[in-house]
Amino acid sequence: MGYYGYPKYVSAAEKKAKAAKSAEKLRKKNPNIAPIVIDGRTIAKTWWGKAWNKNLESYADYDNRIDRGRSYVRNGAVLDLQIDESVVTAKVQGSKAKPYDVKITISPVKKEVWKKIVSECSGRIDSMEELLAGRFPKALEESFLSHNNGLFPAPGEIRFSCSCPDGAYMCKHIAAALYGIGARLDERPELFFTLRAADISSLVSQAVEKKSEELLRSAEGAGKKSGRVLDGDLSALFGVDMLDEPEETKPASAPVPAPAPKRRGRPPKKKTPS
């Protein structure tokens, strides 16, 4: 404790040094730890990471509590964070020497919501890479972030616990781990679908299949569209080169015989009448 019973001030540099020392000690026991490392002030930089944090901050239930975790995650306090199907486990460094254990459970996406999302994505996503990079129409972004009817969990779908003695509904360590999920999605956005127990492969395959069917119907309806143009459309869709079919070889025509050479010499004698 510091003066007058207030907690002693600890600088951000001291907190980072303490967290780094704890992480190194933890790594000796478990080489597979995955700490959350934040470069700069921005916790998340990609679409999925930002969207995760934006969703959490948009709910009044979390508005006054989740801020407590920002400085913790920025200072490297999340020593380990593992994302599995519907569950996140983390070790977060607090004021004590031993890190606290955090567990966050996320409900799977509701079947009716997932069915709606798959239908809305149909024909509007080009590939897995574009989905994970956040490159899709604005309308899909709004659908994904829709409260209680989108991909991201509502407060009622999130349950958590921490081994710390703090009796608050959401302690600093839980808040840090929640922000840590957003940072981890920067590195591996596919883990979002693992966390929500949603089959990303089926979503993308159905969306791409729908788009390819639309291309084919468009080409057939045009009537005048050449096979080479159609191949170009399919090449752009699937990212592969379409090989041209070999041209049919025409049978060689029979050679025309050369004219017989003319005979040279004296003309035949005319017969005289007898």
Q: What is the pLDDT of residues 25-37, one digit of tens each?
A: 999 999 999 999 9
Residue 257 lies in a domain: no
Within 13 Å, how many C-alpha atoms sit on residue 22's CB side? 23
pLDDT at 6: 54
Residue 115 lies in a domain: no
**Closest of 37, 42, 47 to residue 184, by C-alpha:** 37
Residue 44 lies in a domain: yes
Distance CA 206, CA 54 (A): 28
Residue 213 lies in a domain: yes
pLDDT at 234: 47
pLDDT at 95: 87
Give yes or no: residues 102 and 172 share one domain: yes
Distance CA 232, CA 236 (A): 6
Give residue 214's domain range: 208-238
Q: What whole-number percentage of the chain has pLDDT above 90?
A: 59
Residues 162-208: tens digit of each pLDDT: 999 998 889 999 999 999 999 999 999 999 999 999 999 989 998 88
pLDDT at 255: 57
Low-confidence ranges of the chain (pLDDT < 70): 1-8, 210-274
Give yes or no: residues 105 and 166 share one domain: yes
- Residue 183's H or E segment, with its range, is helix 172-187
Are 37 and 76 in contact by the 8 Å Cβ rule? The answer is: yes
Residue 247 lies in a domain: no
Planar angle of CA 86, 87, 89, nearest 5 degrees: 165
Contacts of 34 (CB under 8 A, 6+ apart): 80, 81, 82, 184
pLDDT at 272: 53
